[in-house]
Amino acid sequence: MNMKDFSLEGKIAWITGASYGIGFAIAEAYAAAGATVVFNDINQELVNKGLAAYAEKGIPARGYVCDVTDESAVNELVAKVEKEVGVIDILVNNAGIIKRIPMCEMSAADFRKVIDVDLNAPFICSKAVIPAMIQKGHGKIINICSMMSELGRETVSAYAAAKGGLKMLTRNICSEYGEHNIQCNGIGPGYIETPQTAPLRERQPNGSRHPFDQFIISKTPAARWGKTEDLQGPAVFLASDASNFVNGHVLYVDGGILAYIGKQP
């Protein structure tokens, strides 16, 4: 085994929605592995926040405003990146949203919005970068899926539908473009410590765990929430030459939740 196969030296990586959280952690790992980082977010405020965070880490990232559900805007962004930075070697479809609403209380408009961001946008972004990847003779597309690609849970019907669809889009990109040396895989994070999940991990006034925190710990063989750092190694592997014969796969980074039926009461 050649450890250089894990290097991303000379590669250009575009991570969508990577101003903070999981996307930022993946971008940080890619920079450490030698890649040039490009990211986008929905507005200038978030892009500025991201640029400041990257600068604090000493990472010379390029940030752009782009709505990944807007096909014209995505095509313009890809053309701009190719002109200013170079052809994109690695795409991470990280941008996503969730609306926790019981299905029968959820409007069709809210359902469509989640599908648009979590499924249509990865389709749009992947379609935008694949032609240049074909010309270059290689490419890596990594979709941030979820355990909800495999499981359902109350209040997340739209999110689960989108992530299940993203799993199948991952397999289909593999099927259509694998012969062009393009690998499309997914990462399925478990429950990860991020600013969005912080309220679910706060200690209660009596010092006990939040009920949802208790639930997650009880369902996870690792007996903890994941950290964004737990996703960095898998993300580098799937972006590197070390994974050149891995295609159409979703790598679940979940502390073992999907393998576990739970403790007997």
Chain centroid offset of residue 82 CA: 22
d(CA 162, CA 170): 12
159: annotated active-site residue:
yes
Cα 133 to chain centroid distance, Å, stands at 20
Catalytically annotated residue among 54, 159, 177, 252: 159
CB contact set of 190 (below 8 Å; sequence gap of 6+): 147, 220, 225, 226, 252, 253, 254, 255, 257
CA distance 208 to 187: 32
Question: d(Cα 54, Cα 25) in Å, to the nearest integer?
Answer: 10
CB 5: neighbour CB atoms within 10 A? 12
Q: Which of 105, 183, 108 is nearest to 143 (CA)?
A: 183
Phi then psi for residue 213, to 5 deg, are: -60, -45
Judge contact between 148 and 160, C-beta under 8 A: yes
DSSP conformation letters of 205-228? TTSPPPHHHHHHHHH-TT-S-B-G
**Residue 85: how many other CB atoms lie within 10 Å:** 14
Residues known to be catalytic: 159
